[in-house]
């Protein structure tokens, strides 16, 4: 690209008109390329690797806000860490010079990862808010190999301690039969259309034609949900902490 910029200056020395136009176009392209900021290059490389801002921040060992600020046009003292996480050089991030990145994410590697979907506290009556956004990608355990709809969530709250602790990563197999005694993730319809759905991880006591009975450990109690209010009930098949 830089060679093109240098060649573009030749139009001043009696070069044919059509060649002048071509070289001027190359020169303009070079200028536009070098107008990119470090944040632009981070955003483009992150998109090529199919990483979210939180995922990149985690790989780089920095805060999500630092990535957000850099991509918005701010500066950063973490270019070396970000470059390492993106598989590029800090020089290339800073000014576009040096070796350019090659390729994007490995599709096979991405397919082998497991999506971590988002749940957040603050729902009513101990329920969590379910946004279903992909907040992380983790290594897929052997038990979920070849299960396309499998996913994981981070446990919210302490109601299932000492079996599952707050912040612990648990694996979900949507296709595995749900039987009495199994630990499950239940997604419940919100009271009002358009509201965020609710979700909990509990132990299934029993299911009848009209209701589902769940129990928790901390504090110990059981409660019922009308089956009509349940969007999905998926089986927990293990923990990423084990």
Are the C-beta atoms of residues 197 and 187 closer than 8 Å to each other? yes
Around Cβ 137, how many Cβ atoms within 10 Å?
A: 19
Are the C-beta atoms of residues 55 and 137 closer than 8 Å to each other? yes
pLDDT at position 23 is 47
Reported pTM: 0.57
Around Cβ 224, how many Cβ atoms within 10 Å?
A: 13
Helix (H, G, I), strand (E, B) or coil at 169: strand
The per-residue pLDDT for range 222-242, each reduced to its tens digit, is: 999 999 999 999 999 999 765
The first and second tokens of residue 171, run together, are 């694996």
Of the CATH numbers 1.10.1060.10, 2.10.109.10, 3.40.50.300, 3.30.450.20, which one belongs to the domain with range 109-239?
2.10.109.10
pLDDT at position 108 is 54
pLDDT at position 154 is 92
Which residue, among 127, 117, 125, has the nearest Cα to 186 in the 3D structure?
A: 127
Task: Look at domain 38-95 and name its CATH class.
Answer: mainly alpha
The per-residue pLDDT for range 93-102, each reduced to its tens digit, is: 887 877 777 6
Which residue, among 29, 58, 53, 55, has the nearest Cα to 42 in the 3D structure?
A: 53
Handedness of CA 134, 140, 143, 148 (dihedral sign): positive
Helix (H, G, I), strand (E, B) or coil at 86: helix
pLDDT at position 103 is 65
% of the chain residues with pLDDT over 90: 33
What value does the mean pLDDT take over residues 49-78?
85
Task: Return mean pLDDT, the chain.
Answer: 81
Domain positions in the chain are 2-34, 38-95, 109-239
pLDDT-derived band at 218, boundaries 50, 70, 90:
very high
Tell me the C-alpha distance between 148 and 175, whole Å: 10
Tell me which range, 9-18, 56-65, 218-227, is most confidently predicted by mean pLDDT. 218-227
In sequence order, what are the beta bridge partners of 129?
120, 198
Handedness of CA 232, 240, 64, 32 (dihedral sign): negative
pLDDT at position 68 is 86
pLDDT-derived band at 161, boundaries 50, 70, 90:
very high
* pLDDT over 60 at 11, yes or no: no
Measure Cα distances from 199 to 112, 140, 145, 189, 232 in Å: 26, 23, 25, 9, 9
The per-residue pLDDT for range 135-146, each reduced to its tens digit, is: 888 888 888 988
């Amino acid at each position: 690209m830089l060679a093109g910029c240098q060649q573009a200056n030749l139009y001043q020395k009696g070069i044919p008109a059509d060649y002048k136009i071509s070289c001027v176009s190359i020169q303009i392209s070079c200028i536009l390329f070098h107008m990119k900021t470090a944040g632009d290059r981070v955003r483009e490389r992150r998109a090529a690797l199919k990483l979210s801002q939180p995922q990149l921040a985690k790989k780089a060992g920095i805060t999500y806000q630092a990535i957000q600020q850099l991509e918005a046009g701010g500066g950063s003292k973490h270019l070396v860490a970000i470059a390492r996480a993106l598989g590029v050089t800090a020089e290339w991030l800073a000014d576009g010079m040096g070796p350019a990145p090659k390729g994007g994410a490995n599709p096979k590697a991405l397919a082998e990862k497991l999506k971590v979907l988002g749940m957040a506290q603050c729902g009513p009556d101990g329920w969590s808010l379910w946004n279903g956004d992909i907040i992380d990608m983790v290594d897929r355990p052997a038990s979920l190999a070849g299960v396309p709809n499998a996913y994981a969530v981070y446990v919210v709250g302490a109601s299932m301690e000492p079996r599952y602790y707050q912040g612990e990563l648990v694996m979900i197999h949507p296709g595995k039969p749900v039987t009495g005694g199994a630990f499950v993730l239940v997604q419940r319809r919100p009271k009002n259309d358009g509201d965020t759905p609710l979700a909990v991880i509990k132990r299934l006591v029993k299911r009848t034609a009209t209701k589902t009975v769940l129990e928790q450990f901390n504090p110990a109690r059981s409660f019922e949900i009308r089956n009509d209010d349940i969007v999905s009930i998926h089986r927990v098949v293990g923990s990423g902490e084990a």
